[in-house]
Amino acid sequence: MRRHLLPVLLLLLAAAASSLLAPAAQARTAFACAPGGPATSLPFCRQSLLLHARARDFVSRLTRAEKVRLLVNNAAGVPRLGVAGYEWWSEALHGVSDTGPGVKFGGAFPGATAFPQVIGTAAALNASLWELIGRAVSDEARAMYNGGQAGLTFWSPNVNIFRDPRWGRGQETPGEDPTISSRYAAAYVRGLQQQQPSSSNRLKLAACCKHFTAYDLDHWGNTDRFHFNAIVSPQDLEDTFNVPFRSCVANGNDAAVMCSYNQVNGVPTCADESFLKGTIRGKWGLDGYIVSDCDSVDVFFNDQHYTRTVEDAAAAALRAGLDLDCGPFLAVYTEPAVAKRKVSDADVDNAVINTVTVQMRLGMFDGDPAAGPYGHLGPKDVCTPANQEFALEAARQGVVLLKNEKRKKHGGGILPLRAAAHRTVAVVGPHAEATVAMVGNYAGKACRYTTPLQGVAGYVKQAVHAAGCADVACAGTQQPVAAAVDAARRADATVVVAGLDQKVEAEGLDRNSLLLPGRQAELISAVAKASKGPVILVLMSGGPIDIAFAQNDPRIAAILWVGYPGQAGGQAIADVIFGHHNPGGKLPMTWYPQDYLRKAPMTNMAMRANPASGYPGRTYRFYTGPTIHPFGHGLSYTRFTHTLAHAPAQLTVRLAGGHAATSSAATASLLNATTRAGGERAVRVAHARCEGLSVPVHVDVSNVGGRDGAHTVMVYHAAPAASGGGGAPERQLVAFEKVHVAAGGVARVEVAVDVCEGMSVAVRDGVRRIPVGEHRLVIGEITHTVTLGVEQLGGVGRDAATRKQGNSVKLEGTGFCAFRLCKGGDGDLKKVREGTGLVKIVEMNDCKRLNWKERRRMSFLPHRQCFLILKIRAFNLFQGETSKLHQPVEMQLHMGS
């Protein structure tokens, strides 16, 4: 989000709009369809009707002027229909937040539970934790809505891939891995939305996954997000940037998606019809609304000059499928755009229907919300002891133990400290007394804070505080380093709490260094040198920090990374240091050395390395250079080993719709296995029968150390060597599951590796294929090989024929198992479509690869016998075209109308 760009006209309009808005405090009484109100008897208020019909009815009653005022975040009311204004912009990234105007703290709701910033929650690698946080937040949010201090539409979570370590908003995300981000997106959204079972489709809140897509640059050098054109390959889009969004919509049933500021391949995402209507609504089936980032439409007009006129900009957004503008642009310029026929009333109607349908799913057109299913929630449900305890639990689960030196005697690590042996502990560093810094950005007002100093003080006889740095910047010669050194010299142990804050990494603020700010490193080393007892370094940050100096300093006994651990952060830190909690978090992103920045311009979106240019690639999936800490790193006070209990060695991929080769009534099916150089074989995911197709993996986790602990089993996939058509990841996390294991105990973890999602490879053109052959699954020290095959196909026949069916033409051939279509005429064998057909029937209604004219001819000359003649040559599935076994068969396919 950013400040609104409000030229005078817009300002006036916004003011006018907000005067129509019910003041927030009255939201509770300003519900639509109130008994005795002006609309009670109208169809849109009738709860017995389908929501979509109600939304249509409502929109059909509006004038154009009324509709366009509903296209913006501070939607105007329609008083004549008893509908109040509504502020769409509320936030709840990790607790109810007042970052947007929809949430106001104060009065009966002075604060809300502040859970850890998302990057830290992600480190817990525990999907049930993520969903439960969403649930807790949804209770507090609904309670605040009931009290007129929040909306019901929350623009959270942020599921952009944390691609570049400098990104100031990396803290808001679940990290760099598509699989973690996908699970996080679906789990958090489910928790927030509490969608009611199928038929009613009702929501407790509406979540919103943002910012679609390929957005993770805020401000780097001369480039900012408002002007950045991200050049993204179809491959990276498919297997990296879009993955969490797809999961959010398809698995999480998310009710909204937000498009970003940046362009992708020359088109602003909020004006990209193929993205919004095509991918999000079409392919993934979004049931909800698409909203712009704040002022995105204004940005692509004024900053990017994407369209010539304001009306063109409004029209481009609406035609692309944008339903709601955060910002006033569409309220101002849509009417003129319609008047100039740049966009149709139907487009406007569709947008409003999409937003109003979500409001109806939320119960906003059902009369008094107090009588609804969440009407009982109120101030007593916010900052409850249970929620606050849960914020502490979440913070503990997210702590990552990066380093723990061995004790000289007795074995074991220096951590945990024994309170009895460390009676006086110095707590130093710029974050020793952190409060607000612990909640990161997109936070609200916390219920309360426990600082690191308070946390440690709760365990020891005496906690001595000396900041050592005046603030996180720790710049200049005037820093109180000496006092901290002095405290360390006397104490039995020293805890240094250092790191970053929102002055270093934030929205609009990317870093240009991965080192600790100012003199922090100097402070830490000086304290370590002087300290009498062990030194524990605690790092608060969203992004990774190059702490090689501390890693290599034997006097620094242990290092913890705690993200921004939320309101209870200090308690969680102390609980880990003193062994009340055994840490189990793992890094959700790679910690690169500072030197990495030189080789990877932030503007280079490529995930894959390019050895020729020295470009190192990004994230553990593609970057193979040195790290400070690798993705997934995280120690425990105990030790875990894995044994494979059960996993199949082979699995057969079946083809969609196809059964046995002989079944004549088989529905249309197609195996599109292309043959590439090297005879490598793969099945297109689109043609595989994916449902339930997974590799069950059962792993026994043994706790061979002396303490109870929790461990996340991480299953990595490596595709057969030659696959990927260039650029399959080195390895890719495909499943993870967290489990408690008592000291000396064993626990079995069962995960299912989804074959279509986890074991497929996106090739250069972005098409996903499942390579046939030996796949490796790597789980800790175990490597397991699964051989994927494809079900057997029937023999090759030659009696193909065509059959018309509706508008499509079906090609039938008994038992040809593969085909290639070539453009007809004069031996022109220019390939128009390639595929491997399964046995019986092949659907021919997909003519995407035919050029435009041919498509037109086929679809627009309905009464003529307009034949497109295609020559079809059969070839053996895996031997390639030149099969010796089967002579090519030529068939003519007549495509009529």
CB of 740 to ligand NAG, least distance (A): 5
User: How many residues in the shown chain lie near ligand NAG by CB under 6 A?
Assistant: 19
Q: Does 723 bind ligand NAG (CB under 6 A)?
A: no
Which C-beta is closer to ligand NAG: that of 39 or that of 670?
670
Q: Which stretch binds ligand NAG (CB under 6 A): 20-28, 251-259, 569-577, 841-849?
A: 841-849
Cα distance between residue 526 and residue 523, in whole Å: 5
Question: Which region, judged by CB under 6 A, interacts with ligand NAG, from 371-379, 497-505, 649-657, 736-744?
Answer: 736-744
Q: Which of 296, 674, 814, 876 binds ligand NAG (CB under 6 A)?
A: 674
| Least CB distance to ligand NAG at residue 767 (A) | 5
CA dihedral sign of residues 214, 217, 223, 226: positive
CB of 258 to ligand NAG, least distance (A): 28
Which listed range, 140-148, 256-264, 444-452, 843-851, lies at the site for ligand NAG (CB under 6 A)? 843-851
Q: Nearest Cα to 52, choosing from 287, 357, 355?
A: 357
> Strand runs (DSSP E) across 772-852, as ranges?
773-779, 782-790, 800-805, 808-813, 819-823, 831-837, 841-843
Nearer to ligand NAG, 87 or 737 (CB): 737
At its nearest, how many Å lie between ligand NAG and the CB of residue 836?
Answer: 8
Contact between 670 and ligand NAG by CB under 6 A: the answer reads: yes
Give the whole-angstrom CA distance, residue 195 versus residue 253: 8
Q: Which is nearer to ligand NAG, 544 or 725 (CB)?
A: 725
Is there a contact between 764 and 727 (Cβ–Cβ < 8 Å)?
yes
Nearer to ligand NAG, 255 or 576 (CB): 576
Does 190 engage in binding with ligand NAG (CB under 6 A)? Answer: no
What does the DSSP 8-state code read for residue 591?
B
356 or 697: whose CB is closer to ligand NAG? Answer: 697
- Shortest distance in whole angstroms from residue 583 CB to ligand NAG: 11
Q: Write the binding mask 115 to 134 for ligand NAG: x where contact by CB under 6 A, - elsewhere.
A: -----------x-xx--x--
Q: Does residue number 740 form part of the binding site for ligand NAG (CB under 6 A)? A: yes
CB closer to ligand NAG out of 249 and 739:
739
* Contact residues for 215 (Cβ-Cβ < 8 A; gap 6+): 160, 225, 230, 260, 261, 262, 269
Residue tagged active-site, from 293, 325, 381, 553: 293
Residues 363-422 that bind ligand NAG (CB under 6 A): 393
Which residues are CB-neighbours of 564 under 8 A, at least 6 positions away?
A: 116, 117, 119, 120, 171, 437, 438, 439, 440, 540, 541, 542
Q: What letter would DSSP give residue 239? A: I
Q: Is 654 helix (H, G, I), strand (E, B) or coil?
A: coil
Element (H, E) at 695: strand 694-703
User: Which contiguous run of DSSP H or E holds residue 134?
Assistant: helix 127-146
Q: What ranges make up the beta strands (E) of 260-322? A: 263-264, 267-268, 289-292
Note whether 835 binds ligand NAG by CB under 6 A: yes
Q: Is 595 in the site for ligand NAG (CB under 6 A)?
A: no
Using rule CB under 6 A, residue 238 touches ligand NAG: no
Q: Please, which residues bridge with residue 263 across strands?
A: 229, 268
Per the CB < 8 A criterion, the answer to whether 74 and 17 are in contact is yes
| Binding to ligand NAG, residues 755-814 (CB under 6 A) | 767
Of 540, 355, 504, 296, the C-alpha closest to 432 is: 540
What would the two tokens of residue 350 be?
A: 């569709």
Q: Which CB, 24 or 891, lies closer to ligand NAG? A: 891
Tell me the Cα Rg of the chain: 30
Distance CA 129, CA 125 (A): 8
**Any idea of the CA torsion for 290, 204, 395, 747, to the nearest 10 degrees?**
-100
Q: Nearer Cβ to ligand NAG, position 288 or 835?
A: 835
Residue type, 226: F
- Specify whether 381 is catalytic: no
Tell me how far, at minimum, the Cβ of 833 lies from ligand NAG, in Å: 5
Of 384, 395, 386, give the one whose Cα is nearest residue 439: 395
Q: What does the alpha-carbon distance between residue 820 and residue 811 come to, in Å, rounded to a whole number?
A: 12
Please say whether the beta carbons of 271 and 261 come within 8 A.
Answer: no
* Alpha helix positions (H), 295-413: 296-298, 310-320, 329-339, 345-361, 385-398
Write down the least CB distance from residue 738 to ligand NAG, Å: 4
For residue 599, what are its two tokens? 């080789």
The yes or no reply on residue 638 touching ligand NAG (CB under 6 A) is no
Rounded to 5 degrees, φ, ψ at 103 are: -110, 135
Whether the CB-CB separation of 405 and 413 falls below 8 Å is answered with yes
CA distances from 610 to 598, 604, 614, 618, 624 (A): 15, 11, 6, 11, 11
581 binds ligand NAG (CB under 6 A): no
Cβ(262)–Cβ(160) below 8 Å: no
What is the nearest approach in angstroms of ligand NAG to the Cβ of residue 275? 20
Cα separation, 538 vs 215, in Å, equals 30
Q: Which is nearer to ligand NAG, 57 or 700 (CB)?
A: 700
Least Å distance, CB 182 to ligand NAG, is 18
Residue with tokens 């009534």: 665
The verdict on 672 binding ligand NAG (CB under 6 A) reads: yes
450 binds ligand NAG (CB under 6 A): no
| Among the residue ranges 310-318, 367-375, 567-575, 829-837, the one whose residues contact ligand NAG (CB under 6 A) | 829-837
Closer CB to ligand NAG, 343 or 850, in the complex: 850
For residue 710, state whether it binds ligand NAG (rule: CB under 6 A). Answer: yes
Quick one: which segment of 90-98, 326-334, 589-597, 832-840 binds ligand NAG (CB under 6 A)? Answer: 832-840
- The distance of closest approach from Cβ of residue 854 to ligand NAG in the complex, given in angstroms and rounded to an integer, is 14
577 in Cβ contact with 533 (< 8 Å): no
Closest distance to ligand NAG from the beta carbon of 859 (Å) = 17
Q: Contact between 17 and ligand NAG (CB under 6 A)? A: no
By the rule CB under 6 A, 64 interacts with ligand NAG: no
* Ramachandran bin of 566, using left for φ above 0, alpha for ψ from -120 to 50, beta for the remaining angles: left
First to last CA, the chain: 50
Candidate ranges 238-246, 426-434, 453-461, 737-745; the one touching ligand NAG (CB under 6 A)? 737-745
Tally of CA atoms within 13 A in the half-sphere of 237 that contains its CB: 16
Region near ligand NAG per CB under 6 A, out of 173-181, 306-314, 543-551, 845-853? 845-853
Q: Does 846 bind ligand NAG (CB under 6 A)?
A: yes
Among 202, 738, 823, 871, binds ligand NAG (CB under 6 A): 738
Return the number of the residue (187 or 331) whose C-beta is nearest ligand NAG. 187
- Cβ of residue 818: shortest distance to ligand NAG, in angstroms? 11
153 versus 674: smaller Cβ distance to ligand NAG? 674
Closer Cβ to ligand NAG, 128 or 887, answer by number: 128
Segment interacting with ligand NAG, rule: CB under 6 A, options 56-64, 320-328, 527-535, 732-740: 732-740
Q: Does 833 help bind ligand NAG (rule: CB under 6 A)? A: yes
Ordered alpha helix ranges (H), 623-780: 755-758
Which region among 197-205, 234-242, 573-581, 733-741 touches ligand NAG (by CB under 6 A)? 733-741
Closest CA to 565 of 577, 555, 573: 573
Task: Give least dist CB 687 to ligand NAG, A.
Answer: 7
Question: Can you tell me the distance from the alpha carbon of 731 to that of 722, in angstroms, rounded to the nearest whole number?
Answer: 13
Query: According to the binding rule CB under 6 A, does residue 739 interact with ligand NAG?
Result: yes
Which parts of this chain interact with ligand NAG (CB under 6 A)? 126, 128-129, 132, 393, 670, 672, 674, 710, 738-740, 767, 833-835, 846, 848-849
**Annotated catalytic sites, by residue?**
293
